[in-house]
Amino acid sequence: MNRERLLILYCLVFGGIGWLLVLLTPRPPVDFLPALLFAALALAVDLLSFRVPPTGFYSLVGVVLLSAALALGPANGALITAIESVVAGVALQFIHQRPRNFYQYVARPILRSGSRALGILLGAWLASISTASSLDTVAQQHPLPLLLWMIGTYTLTLQLGRAGRELIQGGYSGLQTWWRSTWAWCLVLSSRRCRWPCSAARSIVS
């Protein structure tokens, strides 16, 4: 198997795991308007992503997505995250005029969306286990542990997805180049996610 096919397979498998968990996780009913507002805001922020060479797009959309998970529940937040991220992932390829191929317009958006949704669901499950609460009630009963768990798992799954992609694309030298060029941005954006997205969540749903 050549490197391009292996990269596509990796994106589909890693991202597909996140999508599968999103589809299999039961979701409580949610008001349509707040969900639409979160999705629209996340899409707007995501489309303002800036590119950090060699390949990555970065933005503060994680703050909006974590806020959605706190306000609407992790299961609904993960669904919004997956749908918004795949739409933005395809749109960004058009905006930045990337080569029109299966990897750029299908595999990469699936990896992007699936890894984000996976991070939110993993954080929610760990929070529910650590607080002995259900996935449906953890956001209302234990918002701070939920937020802290989701920040960690969201960042971890996102960076693992990117690291695997860079390793397949460029080998260890490509992975090192990517890490040297992006680690500072990763720290900055991760710190921004810690600044109480729950306040934004309460203002939108109130």
Establish how many alpha carbons lie within 13 A of residue 74's alpha carbon, considering only the half-sphere containing its beta carbon. 34
**What is the domain count for the chain?**
1
Cα(74)–Cα(143) distance, integer angstroms: 11
Per-residue confidence (pLDDT) for residue 129, from 0 to 100 = 95
- Domain of residue 11, residue span: 3-205
Q: Collapsing DSSP states into helix, strand and coil, what is residue 52?
A: strand
Integer Cα distance of 203 and 82 in angstroms: 23
What CATH number does residue 105 fall under?
1.10.1760.20
pLDDT in tens, 167-202: 888 788 777 776 676 655 555 555 555 555 545 444
pLDDT digits (tens, 9 = 90+) for 22-54: 999 999 998 999 999 999 999 999 998 776 655
Which pLDDT does position 201 carry in this prediction?
Answer: 46
> Looking at residue 178, what is its pLDDT?
65
Identify the band that residue 205 occupies on the pLDDT scale cut at 50, 70 and 90: very low
Q: How far apart are the first and last CA of the chain?
A: 53
196: left (phi over 0), alpha (psi -120 to 50) or beta: left
The predicted model scores a pTM of 0.84
Region class of 97: left (phi > 0), else alpha (psi between -120 and 50), else beta: left
What residues form DSSP beta bridges with 52? 56
Average pLDDT, the chain: 85
CB 72 within 8 A of CB 120: no
